[in-house]
Amino acid sequence: MKRAVITGLGAVTPIGNNVSDFWESLIKGKSGASAITKFDTTNHKTKFACEVKDFDPLQYITKQEVRKMDLYTQYALAATDECMKDSGLNLETCDLNKVGVIMATGIGGMSTFEEEILNFGENKNVPRFSPFFITKMISNIAAGQISIRYGLHGISYSISSACASSNNAIANALDLIRLGRANIIIAGGSEATITQAAIGGFNSMKALSTLNDTPETASRPFDKTRDGFVAGEGAGVLMIEELEHALKRGAKIYCELAGYGAASDAYHVAATHPEGLGAVLAMEGAIADSRLTTDDITYINAHATSTPVGDISECKAIEKVFGKFLKKIQISATKSMTGHLLGAAGAIESIACIKSIEDNIIPPTINLNEIDPEINSQFDFTPLRARKKEVLVVLNNTFGFGGHTSTTVFRKYQL
Identified catalytic residue from 50, 83, 94, 163? 163
User: What is the pLDDT at residue 250?
Assistant: 98
Helix residue ranges, H only, 292-344:
308-322, 335-338
Give me the mean pLDDT over the 156-180 stretch: 98
Each residue's pLDDT tens digit, 266-311: 999 999 999 999 999 999 999 999 999 999 999 999 999 999 999 9
CA distances from 49 to 52, 91, 214, 387 (A): 10, 38, 11, 27
CA–CA separation, 351 and 52 (whole Å):
17
Q: Is the pLDDT of residue 193 over 70?
A: yes
Give me the mean pLDDT over the 84-112 stretch: 97
Tell me whether domains 4-248 and 261-410 share a fold: yes
Q: Is 268 a catalytic residue?
A: no
Identified catalytic residue from 303, 315, 353, 404? 303
Q: Is 50 a catalytic residue?
A: no
> In terms of Cα–Cα distance, which of 260, 268, 265, 369 is closest to 317?
265
User: What is the pLDDT at residue 125?
Assistant: 67
CA–CA separation, 311 and 161 (whole Å):
19
Each residue's pLDDT tens digit, 99-140: 999 999 999 999 999 999 988 887 766 778 899 999 999 999
Q: Which conformational region is residue 319 in: left (phi greater than 0), alpha (psi within -120 to 50 degrees), or beta?
A: alpha
| Residue ranges of domains in the chain | 4-248, 261-410
Q: Is the pLDDT of residue 80 over 70?
A: yes
Identified catalytic residue from 83, 94, 255, 340? 340
Q: What is the DSSP letter of 296?
A: G
Q: Is the pLDDT of residue 366 over 80?
A: yes
The per-residue pLDDT of the chain, averaged, comes to: 97
Mean pLDDT lowest for which of 32-36, 80-84, 127-131, 205-209?
127-131
Q: What is the DSSP letter of 246?
A: H
Fold of 261-410: Peroxisomal Thiolase; Chain A, domain 1 (3.40.47)
User: What is the pLDDT at residue 119?
Assistant: 87
Residue 415's pLDDT band (boundaries 50, 70, 90)? confident
Q: How much is the pTM?
A: 0.97
Fold of 4-248: Peroxisomal Thiolase; Chain A, domain 1 (3.40.47)
User: What is the pLDDT at residue 121?
Assistant: 80
Each residue's pLDDT tens digit, 171-181: 999 999 999 99
